[in-house]
C-alpha cells in the first residue's frame, strides 16, 4: 500500500533530558494537522520512555550503547562519535523500512545536536530541518561563538563580571548572563564543542525550527 499522499515526518531527538519532550510535543502538533509523525529514539531511551505516544509512531535507532546510553560511554567524545556513526547507520535502516512499508519519509526533523541526520536524509533525497530545543537568545550566542564573532571564552572568564558585554541582537549582558560553557572555558570540553557544532552543516538544512515563542524572543 502506497501512502505517499500523506506527508510523513521522521523526528530524531537527541537522547537527553530537555531534548526529547520538545520534539515529542512538536510531533503531536504535526499529527493534529493530519501529518504522519514518527519518533526515532535510541534503544536505551525506548526502555525507559513511558510517555503515551498516541498516534505518533515510534522507531528505534542506536547510539552504539544500547544497554547504558550516554553513561555507558568511555567519555563524552566517545559517545558523540559513536552516536554519529551508529546513529547514521540505523537511521538509514529506519528510512528504508518506512519506504518498504508504504509510508516513505517526506522529511527528517532532527535535533540540532544530531547534524549527521541531515546528511542521512539528503543521501535519500529527503529534505531535512534542524530543531533547536533552546531559545533564540541562547542559540544566537553559540552561533556567534562558532562563527568567531565573539571574544574568546578565555577573555570572558577573566573579565570584570559587572561590566556589560555587547552581543549583536541581544540587550547588554554581563559574564554572569553567559552560558557556563562559554564563561568557564575548557571545563566542559566536548559539551562546548557539541553546542558549537550544531552549526557545522546548518547552511544545508532545508528548514530551521526553534523551540520558542514571540513573547520570549520579542527583544
Residues serving a catalytic function are 19, 111
Q: How far is residue 26's CA from residue 29's CA, in Å, rounded to a whole number?
A: 5
| Angle, vertex CA 77, rays to CA 167 and CA 185, nearest 5 | 35
Give the closest residue to 37 by CA, choosing from 122, 129, 134. 129
Q: How far is residue 163's CA from residue 180's CA, in Å, rounded to a whole number?
A: 17
C-alpha cell belonging to residue 134: 533552546
**211 by DSSP, 3-state: which?**
coil
Amino acid at each position: 500500500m502506497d501512502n505517499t499522499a500523506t506527508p510523513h515526518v521522521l523526528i530524531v531527538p537527541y537522547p537527553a533530558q530537555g531534548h526529547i519532550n520538545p520534539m515529542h510535543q512538536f510531533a503531536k502538533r504535526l499529527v493534529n494537522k493530519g501529518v504522519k509523525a514518527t519518533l526515532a529514539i535510541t534503544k536505551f531511551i525506548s526502555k525507559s520512555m513511558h510517555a503515551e505516544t498516541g498516534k505518533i509512531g515510534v522507531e528505534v535507532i542506536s547510539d552504539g550503547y544500547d544497554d547504558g546510553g550516554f553513561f555507558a560511554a568511555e567519555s563524552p567524545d566517545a559517545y558523540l562519535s559513536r552516536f554519529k556513526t551508529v546513529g547514521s547507520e540505523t537511521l538509514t535502516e529506519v528510512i528504508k523500512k518506512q519506504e518498504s512499508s508504504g509510508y516513505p519519509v517526506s522529511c527528517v526533523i532532527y535535533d540540532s545536536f544530531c547534524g549527521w541526520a541531515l546528511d542521512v536524509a539528503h543521501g535519500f533525497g529527503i529534505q531535512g530541518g534542524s530543531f533547536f530545543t533552546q531559545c533564540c537568545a541562547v542559540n544566537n550566542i553559540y552561533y556567534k561563538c562558532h562563527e568567531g564573532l565573539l571574544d574568546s571564552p578565555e577573555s570572558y572568564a577573566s573579565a570584570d563580571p559587572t561590566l556589560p558585554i555587547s552581543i549583536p541582537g541581544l540587550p547588554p549582558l554581563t559574564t554572569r548572563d553567559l552560558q557556563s560553557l562559554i564563561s568557564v572555558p575548557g571545563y566542559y570540553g566536548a559539551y562546548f564543542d557539541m553546542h558549537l557544532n550544531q552549526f557545522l552543516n546548518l547552511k544545508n538544512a532545508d528548514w530551521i525550527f526553534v523551540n520558542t515563542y514571540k513573547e520570549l524572543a520579542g527583544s
